[in-house]
Amino acid sequence: MAVSVCSINTNPIALATPSFSFKFPPFWPTQKVKMGPLSVSPMGFGTWAWGNQFLWGYQESMDNELQQVFNMAVDNGINLFDTADSYGTGKLNGQSEKLLGRFIREFQEQKGSQREIVIATKFAAYPWRLTPGQFVNACRASLDRMQIDQIGIGQLHWSTANYAPLQELALWDGLVAMYEKGLVKAVGVSNYGPKQLLKIHDYLKDRGVPLCSAQVQFSLISMGKDQLEIKSICDSLGIRLIAYSPLGLGMLTGKYSPSQLPSGPRGLLFKQILPGLDPLLSSLREIANKRRKTMSQVAINWCICKGTVPIPGVKSIKQAEENLGSLGWRLSSDELLQLEQAANESPRRMIQNIFQTR
């Protein structure tokens, strides 16, 4: 089963007459966007929480609801799902990929048809992955976990240039090999800064392999100099920027405050950053109220309006419904400017991912 290239897309047409009316799906994405050779929804769903007990409190009892989340997403036009071979803690390592593969199979069995589903998975630059062959083996292991024939986008999870430059070249050659073997339809990178992004783009191009996507932390509290330079490079080279953590791990949802923090490690981070986000959160709230949207929907829509494909995480039906409400409309230029000015006026920012290179 090749999940990255599946069939049957539906195209709803609404007619309104006295005797007949067609009800649109509630959150239909208006169009697909190009990501290399692939066509994907303007927003994908991230699956970091699927299997992660430490940060997101995953329990296997959540699997039934996660299946419903997946079904709802696909039914409403979402076809991009981001995962990684390192997602899942302890004995649950790789659980996110296993669940995603299972949910695809069960969806197809229930619906009796296939949809075009693009899986973007990331391969960790573990210190024991020292050769191109070992990186290709990592790709094959992901295919086995998901029980599919081809991955939509195979991504290098992070760069080792800062501490193991020779390993970096081997991993690049591994991306080339998995592309040439047809194990992935396209290749991408994650957590690459502007300098390394240009280097790998040119390296792959010389070998006839186009760089499809670059995944980076990008949101109203993660739009520093590096992020904007990466976005500019992506635009000039035809690389699609995938925005992870578009809600700042939840800080932009309006659900938390300095006196109401999430449990676990996120609470410690929120305690440092939230008190310095008042101007931005106030603007998000104002626009959300005017638009009759939620703050999360406004923050995600901002990412879409900036030309990125955001991949907010989901682990409940409620979150899925809210995220889907980010589609089908666009912030005005004045609203975009208001949010960006408020972000610049806010004294705190999201901390940089430790794996991000320059």
What residues are labeled active site? 87
- What single-letter amino acid sits at 224? G
Q: How far apart are CA 358 and CA 355, in angstroms?
A: 10
Q: How far apart are CA 329 and CA 272, in angstroms?
A: 33
- What single-letter amino acid sits at 130? L
Q: How far apart are CA 115 and CA 5, in angstroms?
A: 9
b/e per residue 257-270 (b: at least 16 CB within 10 A): eeeeebeeebeebb
Residue whose tokens read 């669940």: 99
